[in-house]
């Protein structure tokens, strides 16, 4: 995968740079993208998680108040159940050179099926031989999930989240990219983001 990734970068770079500048520029850009492919991606935690405007953190023990149930019910009646969260991703760069991250596409999976997708255009420098935390804002509307089964299934979904904001029902896949001139060169495949066993938030 890394070899294919670098070949794509070289091709894109050569098309965007004048011939006299190719030799000087290709090396550094290939190194940045190669390092992006060499990085290790894992879930740190999930913060600011809300469903229908309710902060899910206080509901992690399944203790949903009457007012929370009312808010969820009203959301279903209004056919809008917005969910928003910040997914904090640890990007570990084990190399001796920085890596550049220009864009990140994401896919949100719920119960093992693709539910929503989006992208972030924020740029980050992934420091050499270190781990950088990259926040990714993810939002969608959950109404289609609960339009048939109603409030009880929505309550069960909300109660599935743990204290660190993760849920066995929710998964995330990402595809980091690097801009090269006027081109965006993505990694070939999506990466499933999981929390490492024993990892601390």
Residue 61, pLDDT score: 60
Confidence tier at 4 by pLDDT (50, 70, 90): very low
Average pLDDT over all residues of the chain: 80
**Domains of the chain as residue ranges with CATH:** 41-178 (2.60.40)
H/E run at residue 4: helix 2-16
Q: Is the pLDDT of residue 194 over 80?
A: yes
- pLDDT at residue number 135: 93
The pLDDT value given to residue 141? 94
Helices 19-38, 2-16: axis angle to 10 degrees equals 150
| Residue 83 near residue 16 (C-beta atoms within 8 A) | no
Straight-line distance from the first to the last Cα atom of the chain, in angstroms, rounded to the nearest whole number: 30
In angstroms, the CA 188 to CA 192 distance is: 13
User: In this model, does residue 54 exceed pLDDT 50?
Assistant: yes
pLDDT-derived band of residue 197, with 50, 70 and 90 as boundaries?
Answer: low
101 CB-contact burial (10 Å; exposed 0-12 / middle 13-18 / buried 19+): buried
Contacts of 145 (CB under 8 A, 6+ apart): 81, 110, 115, 153, 154, 157
Question: Is 0.85 topped by the overall pTM?
Answer: no
* 42 beta partners: 90
CA dihedral (91, 126, 95, 118) positive or negative:
positive
Mean pLDDT of 68-94: 91
- Maximal CA-CA distance, the chain: 69
pLDDT on residue 29:
64
Distance separating alpha carbons of residues 117 and 18, to the nearest angstrom: 36
């Amino acid at each position: 995968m890394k070899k294919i990734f670098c070949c794509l970068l070289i091709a894109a770079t050569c098309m965007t740079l004048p011939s006299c500048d190719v030799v000087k520029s290709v090396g550094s850009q290939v190194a940045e993208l190669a390092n992006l492919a060499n990085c290790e991606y894992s879930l740190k935690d999930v913060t600011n998680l809300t469903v229908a405007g309710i902060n899910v953190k206080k509901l992690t023990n399944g203790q949903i108040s009457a007012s929370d149930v009312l808010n969820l019910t009203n959301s279903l009646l209004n056919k809008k159940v917005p969910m928003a969260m910040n997914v904090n991703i640890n990007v570990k760069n084990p190399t001796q050179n920085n890596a550049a991250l220009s864009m990140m596409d994401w896919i949100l999976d719920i119960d093992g099926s693709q539910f929503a997708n989006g992208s972030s255009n924020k740029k980050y420098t992934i420091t050499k031989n270190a781990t950088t935390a990259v926040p990714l804002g993810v939002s969608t509307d959950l109404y289609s999930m609960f339009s048939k089964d109603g409030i009880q299934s929505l309550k069960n979904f909300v109660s599935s989240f743990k204290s660190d904001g993760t849920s066995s029902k929710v998964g995330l896949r990402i595809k980091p990219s690097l801009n090269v001139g006027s081109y965006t060169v993505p990694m070939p495949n999506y990466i499933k983001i999981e929390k490492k066993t024993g990892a601390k938030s």
